[in-house]
Structure 1
Amino acid sequence: MPLYSIHGQASLEVRHLVLDYNGTMATDGTLVPGVAERVRELNLPPHELSVHVITADTMGTAQRQLEGLPCDLSILGPAEQDKAKLDFIQGLGSAQTVAIGNGQNGHLMLAVAALGIAVIGEEGAAAQTILASRVVCRDILSALDLLLKPKRLIATLRC
């Protein structure tokens, strides 16, 4: 379980990584190049994160695009997606979860996660989701690299 010690804040002990799919991991339904390799690396020692993808699957491509990756996929129904994502994070244990997203339906999960990261990819990001996050990254690769290269995360969050 990765431990991120950040000066002036409680240490983060992370077990789970929860990712939105469309707009976060994917553009127009296609996985962003470089994401698969990073997800695999985060699943291995020393990180050993349990990776979960929770999505409305707007483009209907998530299952095919994520095939073979070490992650669990949950596809949401059309109603109350923000609440469903919140419930999912709380079920895992929000204090041990990093959540990454960009859309309006992700703002609650980013707010309750131990570390909420908003990404601004090709689709942009909902303002409420940005405000609910602790960190904002220009894209998913930068967000995943914060976890793979913890000194970047420490530099961003230290007091």
Structure 2
Amino acid sequence: MLDLNIPGCKNLKVEKIVFDLNGTLACDGKLIAGVKESINRLSEEFEIYILTADTLGNAESLLRDLKAEVVIIEGNDGSKFKADFVEKLGRKRVIAVGNGNNDAQMLKNAELGIAIIGPEGTARAALLGAELISREINDVFDLIFNPDRIKATLRK
């Protein structure tokens, strides 16, 4: 759990982290270096969820060694599915991380939405929906492992 008072902003009490898969944790169907180790380390303190439409059909094999719940997006509206998923988890207890157009509302709904630039770039809507923007996924892991960095960035 992350319990962090951010002066002039909010008091985070987060227990769950939701990640988009493609463009966030993976690029071109392969996990980005460092993702497996960091997800498994985070799973010691948080419930971890990875959302994917499984466009490439390899999510199960790609994520089998991760201590996370893999959630396959149902239906044709991934944006709504992701946003609703965060709401169902209890948005005030969730960090959401993504980069795509279909992540924008999920990022906005979460208590802390983090957009990453990453190798695939970032949709403008995701940037506007996020509270914090990071260069790439390993920087996001570092923020969570060193929460004073979050405080330094978001304090008023």
Query: As a proportion of its length, which structure holds more strand?
Result: 2
Partner of 1:23: 23
Instruction: State the Cα distance separating 1:58 from its structure 2 match.
Output: 2.2
Task: Output the CA distance in 1 between the equivalents of 2:130 and 2:2.
Answer: 20
**Aligned positions, number:** 156
Give CA-to-partner distance per residue, 1:113-157, whole Å, 9 cap, x none. Answer: 000000111110100111110011110111121111111111111
- Residue 101 (1) aligns with residue 120 (2): no
Instruction: State the Cα distance separating 1:60 from its structure 2 match.
Output: 1.9
1:5-154 → structure 2 map (5 Å cutoff): 5-44=5-44, 48-77=45-74, 79-154=76-151
Structure 2: which 5+ runs fail to align?
none
The question of whether the paired residues in 2 share the 8 Å contact of 1:29 and 1:60 is answered with no
TM-score, normalization: structure 1?
Answer: 0.94
Identity %: 40
Instruction: State the Cα distance separating 1:68 from its structure 2 match.
Output: 2.1
TM-score, normalization: structure 2?
Answer: 0.96
SS in 1 for 2:71: strand
Task: Output the CA distance in 1 between the equivalents of 2:112 and 2:142.
Answer: 14
What is the aligned-residue RMSD (CA, Å)? 1.0
Instruction: State the Cα distance separating 1:4 from its structure 2 match.
Output: 1.5
